[in-house]
Amino acid sequence: MATFLIYDRDNTHVDPVKDLRGCYKLGDIVEVFDDDRQPPLAIPQPPPFWVVKITGITKAQADQFIAAHISDPVTCPRCDGTGIDPTPVNGESVPCHQCRGVGTVTTRLRRRLYCLDWVNLPVEVQTALTTTRYYETTFALARHMVRNKATGATV
Ligand SMILES: [Zn+2]
């Protein structure tokens, strides 16, 4: 069992890159609590949070839903993909510090990759969240309510 803390609105920033990369959006899963380990979360939570308790899910399964949306790897601009620092301090061959010697880098595109698919939620779920700020369900049902923002698919 796990408890999801979910954002109930869109935060915004005037810079469109920072808006996606840094702002929680409606339905974003902000934090996951393992009910076996964490003290119980106060229910209801004040805005901007909803609480959704999910049974039949492991902490490891739950944790994937708070991942950021990370870009595909691209060639490291500092070392041009060699993984070797182009300007080492003392002339020695050392790993590039920007890519840690890997030759590629990624960037965070969105604060969260997954979100509760608010517009497609069953009406009873929307009603429960707007009136009590709380909903309880199973992972088998909840997974159809969570959307991957990159693919658009539910999980
Ligand atoms: Zn590099």
Q: What is the pLDDT along the chain (155 residues), one digit of tens a residue?
A: 899 999 999 999 999 999 999 999 999 999 999 877 777 788 888 999 999 999 999 989 999 999 999 999 999 999 999 999 999 888 889 999 999 999 999 999 999 999 999 999 999 999 999 999 999 999 999 999 999 999 999 88
Q: What whole-number distance in Å separates Cα of residue 11 and Cα of residue 24?
A: 6
pLDDT reported for residue 68: 96
How many structural domains are present in the chain?
2
> Do 82 and 102 belong together in one domain?
yes
Is 155 a member of any domain? no
CA 73 – ligand 1 centroid, Å: 12
Specify the pLDDT at position 55: 94
| Residues flanking ion ligand 1, Cβ below 5 Å | 76, 78-79, 96, 98-99
**Does any domain span residue 91?**
yes
Q: What angle do CA 121, 124, 130 make, to 5 degrees?
A: 85
Specify whether the CB–CB gap between 37 and 119 falls below 8 A: no
Tell me how far the alpha carbon of residue 95 lies from the centroid of ligand 1, in angstroms. Answer: 8
Residue-level pLDDT at 90: 86
Distance 88 CA to ligand 1 centre (A): 12
Q: Are residues 66 and 30 in the same domain?
A: yes
State whether 19 and 48 are in the same domain: yes
Q: Are residues 58 and 116 in the same domain?
A: yes
Beta bridge partners of 116: 146
| pLDDT for residue 93 | 92
Residues 9 and 38 both lie in one domain: yes
Residues 67 and 140 in one domain: yes
Domain that holds residue 126: 2-71+108-148
Q: Order of strands across the sheet with 134-138? A: 29-34, 2-7, 49-55, 134-138
62 and 113 inside one domain: yes
Residues 8 and 60 in one domain: yes
Q: Is residue 153 part of a domain?
A: no
Ligand 1 centroid to residue 49 C-alpha, Å:
39
Q: Is residue 30 part of a domain?
A: yes
Q: Are residues 131 and 93 in the same domain?
A: no
Is 66 in the same domain as 93?
Answer: no
